[in-house]
Structures are given as structure tokens and as C-alpha cells.
Chains A and B, each alone.
Chain A
Amino acid sequence: MDNEDVRSLVSAHATRHSAPPALADRIADALPAAPSHADREGSWFWQGAGLGAATTAVLAIALGIGLTLKHPSHDDLLVDEAVANHVRSLQASHAVDVASSDQHTVKPWFNGKVNYAVPAFDLGAEGFPLAGGRLDYFDGEPIAVLVYRHRLHTINVFVRPAKKSGSIGQVSGTLDRQGFAVERWMKDGMEFWAVSDADVTTLAQLRTLMMAESHAH
């Protein structure tokens, strides 16, 4: 049986599942009653600065549901903030402050900018070349961001010392916010947040690689 036979068998005979009739109503009932931009009023995030309309639209995506539903936890807000930072870094063509695939350039660049050593590794051989580093602002403090590329995707990895042990909270493992994947992990007293439009399996792969690297060093 060649691939053309398989193609015609699937086209002709595989089931195309139809949505249950009640699903459209269920979705309609679950939609917020008003457009989501109403939620911008009073949001802590919008008081920041004169953000352009395009940025505002994208941030609305990034923040979206997190602020419309009940009271988001601190961890939830951090996820939103990580995603918003990621999106803004892409929008502003300001993904990196120091552009280098050399970990020996990127790592010392952070000296004096953040008060901790940043574990920077080039993972180009594994498909995740280091593009550089950036200083960003996260959870009320300056934070080191390592920027990796994977195929056409940009991955931001926020790195900071882990807060006291109780603070791992509910956000660990993999999440998805508005189509952005977020992966958080702890290693050697450091906390890592990876954010990308790549899928969750890609981030899980990066996490595995970075955890192995921090062992080796």
C-alpha cells in the first residue's frame, strides 16, 4: 500500500467528528458579557507607561483571561508578566541587550546589572543557539533574561535566584497562555521561566538541556 492509497483511504473513510450541538451554546454562555478591553480599567499593568496601540493590543492578548476571571494568584500574574515581557521584547526589536552566542560574553555582561551569577550556556549543538542576554524587569525587580532561538522561534528564559523554598507555588511544569507556552523550573537555587510561541514540548526539551548543563558546571 503506497502513501497515495493511505491518503485516499483516510480522506474517504476516517471519521470527521462533528462538534456536539450543545458545544456552541456552551461556548457562547461562557464568553464574557462585555468586550475584554473593559478589563483594562484599573488593571495594574496599564498604568505603566505610554504603550503604543499595537503593544496594547498584544498585551491585551497576553493578559487576557488571567485578569478577567476571579482573583488571579500572584503566580498567575507572574505568568502573565513573563508572557507580556516576552511579547514586548519581540515587538520592540529589543530582544537582546547583548547579542552573542558566546556564553563567556553573555554571562559576565550581567555582572553589576543583577546581583547574582547567571548560568548562561550556548545550546546551539542541541538546536537552541544562544542569541544573547537582556536585562528586564520582573516581579518588581531587575531580572536576567537569556534569549535562545529554536528554528523560527525566540525563547526568553528569565533567570533569578529562587525565593524561599515555599514559593514554588502552583506554577511549575508547563502552561499555555494565549498560545504562548510557559515552562518554569528550579535548579541549583535558581528559578527559571521559559516563555515562547514554540510549543510546550520544545520548552520541555530546553528545560531538560538546561538542567543537564547546570549539572555539568
Chain B
Amino acid sequence: MSEKIRSQPHNRRFGELALPHLDSAYNLARWLLRDDHDAEDVVQEAFLRAFSAFGGFRGENARPWLLAIVRNSCYTWLAQHRRAEIEVSYDDDVHGGEDRIDGAGARADNPETIVALRDDIRLVDEALQRLPVGYREVVVLRDIEDLSYKEIAEVAALPIGTVMSRLARGRKLLGTDLTRLRNGEDHGQ
């Protein structure tokens, strides 16, 4: 923690509360914005917002609180710079999750494909990058950041049921895309 933060009690408390989650915050922003510099700028801005807001923070767990601010900042940034990325409609019907994705994933059931895929690590990042942002964020929060459904609901301002259906559908889309990439069917969109 830098000297400047340590020197002021108010700043120090914020530093102790927020800075341990800086990597989580950056990881989320980096995955949502898909750019190092933009992620850095937005995280900095989000931490300043969090600083001015944290007098009102009464919770036990600062991470979802902080990530919610980071996530909102990312969406605002996208709305201003790449609006098309957030203008995606999501079919959040809880019951429809498993069977409406088109059939391209069918051949993924081949166990050899799965084994081969495990060796091709870089494809995981590539496929995740290409996922629509509303799916990408729940997958990142759950499978990389290891947040609970409840915490994700708080961060993404979604009902828990929607978190679960987005997660299921996001993984399904990801699996389909991974299979396509593995088979060399699709290089970039």
C-alpha cells in the first residue's frame, strides 16, 4: 500500500477495504472491455467512485460491492464508446436454456474433441472473448473469480434465477464456439 494511502486514516481504511480486490476488479474490467488500457482507466475511475461512496458502505464483504461499481463503470464506458456491444438482448427464460442453441455443438460430444481441447488452452481465452458481454460477465465472475450466485446477482444487478440461466447458456455457447475453434471452422468474427 502506498505511503499516500497510509498517511490518512480515511484513505487507509479505504485502502484496506478495496485494494485487496484490485486484481478482481481489473480482471473483471479487462474481460468486459477486452483492452488493457481501457480496463486500467475504468478501474481507476471506479475506485475513485468507490472511495467517495464508501462512507455509505455497511456490508461485510467489500468485493461484490466494489465489483458492482466496476461493472457499472464498464457498462457506462461501453455505452459511450462501443454501444453495440451492450445492445444485445438476452433470452432469460429459465426453462429454455438447454435446447435452443443451434446444433453446431452436437459433435462436441465426441470425447476425443474434449481431450484435444484440453491441450489447446489459448482457445479458451479466445472463445470467452467472443461471448456476448452479458454471458461473459457471469462466466468470468463464477468460473474465474469464484463468486457465489448471490454475489454475482449483486454485482450484475440480476435476479439469481437469471444469473443461473445466463451461466448455463453462456457455458453452452462457449462450448459450441470452442468446438468450432478447435475444428478450425471459424477464425475470428
B62 beta carbon closer than 8 Å to chain A: no
Which of A10-18, A44-52, A97-105, A110-118 is found at the contact surface with chain B? A10-18
The complex places the Cα of A32 from the Cα of B121 at a distance, in Å, of 43
The complex places the Cα of A33 from the Cα of B5 at a distance, in Å, of 9
The complex places the Cα of A37 from the Cα of B5 at a distance, in Å, of 17
B17 beta carbon closer than 8 Å to chain A: no
Q: How far is the CB of B52 from the nearest CB of chain A, in Å?
A: 3
B86 beta carbon closer than 8 Å to chain A: yes
In the complex, how many residue pairs between chain A and chain B have their CB atoms under 8 Å apart? 173
Number of residues on chain A facing chain B (CB within 8 A): 55
Which of A55-63, A134-142, A209-217 is found at the contact surface with chain B? A55-63
Q: How far is the CB of A13 from the nearest CB of chain B, in Å?
A: 4
A3 B124 Cβ-Cβ under 8 A? no
A23 B168 Cβ-Cβ under 8 A? no
The complex places the Cα of A58 from the Cα of B58 at a distance, in Å, of 12
Given known A-B contacts A13-B124, A14-B125, A174 and B80 have beta carbons under 8 A apart: yes
Residues of the A chain whose Cβ atoms lie less than 8 Å from the Cβ of B25? 19
B2 A199 Cβ-Cβ under 8 A? no
Please list the residues of chain B having a beta carbon within 8 angstroms of any beta carbon in chain A: 1-2, 4-5, 8, 10-11, 14-15, 19, 22-23, 25-27, 30-31, 36, 39-40, 43-44, 47-49, 51-53, 55-56, 68-69, 72-73, 75-76, 79-80, 86-87, 105, 108-109, 113-114, 117-118, 121, 124-125, 128, 139-140, 143-145, 157, 159, 168, 171-172, 174-175, 178-179
